[in-house]
Amino acid sequence: MIMDSLTPLAVQIFTASVAKYHELDRVDQPFENPYDSNTLEHLLYRKNWIDTVQWHYEDLIRDPEIEPVAGMSLKRKIDASNQDRTDMVEYIDSYFLQQYQSVSPQQEATFNTESPAWALDRLSILVLKIYHMREEATRESASAEHRQQCQTKLDVLLSQQADLCTAIDQLLADLASGAKYMKVYKQMKMYNDEALNPVLYQPKS
């Protein structure tokens, strides 16, 4: 599936994932991917589910009355989720790299500062922001002032989403035409690696 207008589908998938999560609204709920495992749709749905669960992890850990042991356990889950998020971005970028492997870059082709998958990562988070800001803009228990402020923020987020979608689709079109080229750089996170984090590899006294 090569695309010069992927973002309507991506927004649809991200929105469906967010809605599905909120049917139970529990970070420990089972996950089922409705898309075939060999598709980009599968990767996008999984990516947003990771983001959605982590969004709620981040809410929970900010509870000022959280018990220290529970807080540390939750911090470990956030670390693992961050690694999953990064891994999924790399899987998605590998998909795009394969899709465009037969495209010959033009002589004046340029390299984009952000890969397609990292741009889609931003879009996934933006869909989450829109969902939760819309909740606040319509929350009946909130004051009218609060709802209006949130509606103003929601309008900005929706404009931002439209702009980001345009930019992503233009990037994909440029990759397909050879006007841009891409690489997949591994993030090489160090803090989870026992061979790279000195706190993990240095002997304990």
Residue 194 confidence (pLDDT) = 75
Q: Say which DSSP state 111 is in.
A: E
Quote the CA–CA distance of 2 and 96 in Å, as a whole number.
Answer: 9
Residue 203 located in a structural domain? no
How far, in whole angstroms, is CA 195 from its chain's centroid?
Answer: 28
Residue 202 confidence (pLDDT) = 80
Residue 173 located in a structural domain? yes
Local confidence band at 201 (pLDDT 50, 70, 90 cut-offs): confident
Residue 44 located in a structural domain? yes
Local confidence band at 198 (pLDDT 50, 70, 90 cut-offs): confident
- Number of domains within the chain: 1
Contact 124, 48 (CB under 8 A): yes
136-184 pLDDT, tens digit per residue, is: 999 999 999 999 999 999 999 999 999 999 999 999 999 999 999 998 7
Please report how the helices 68-99 and 116-137 are oriented relative to each other, as an axis angle in degrees rounded to 10.
130
The residue among 197 and 127 whose pLDDT is bigger is 127
Residue 204 confidence (pLDDT) = 75
- Look up residue 138 and give its amino acid: T
Local confidence band at 186 (pLDDT 50, 70, 90 cut-offs): confident
Q: Count of alpha carbons within 13 Å of 9, Cβ hemisphere only?
A: 15
Residue 195 confidence (pLDDT) = 76
3-51 pLDDT, tens digit per residue, is: 558 999 999 999 999 999 999 999 999 999 999 999 999 999 999 999 9
Residue 4 confidence (pLDDT) = 54
Which is nearest to 14 in space by CA: 37, 41, 39, 36? 41
Residue 27 located in a structural domain? yes
Residue 23 located in a structural domain? yes
Place of tokens 């997949």: 184
Contact 181, 107 (CB under 8 A): no
Residue 169 confidence (pLDDT) = 96
Range of the domain at 68: 7-193
Q: Which helix (H) or strand (E) holds 183?
A: none
Rg (CA), the chain: 20
Residue 193 clears pLDDT 90, i.e. is over it:
no
41-94 pLDDT, tens digit per residue, is: 999 999 999 999 999 999 999 999 999 999 999 999 999 999 999 999 999 999
Local confidence band at 97 (pLDDT 50, 70, 90 cut-offs): very high
Quote the CA–CA distance of 125 and 22 in Å, as a whole number.
Answer: 15
Residue 124 located in a structural domain? yes
Residue 199 clears pLDDT 80, i.e. is over it:
no
Residue 11 located in a structural domain? yes
Average pLDDT taken over every residue of the chain: 93
Q: How many helices (H) and strands (E) does the chain have?
A: 6, 2
User: What pairing do the DSSP bridges indicate for beta strands 110-111 and 180-181?
Assistant: parallel
Residue 122 confidence (pLDDT) = 98
Residue 189 located in a structural domain? yes
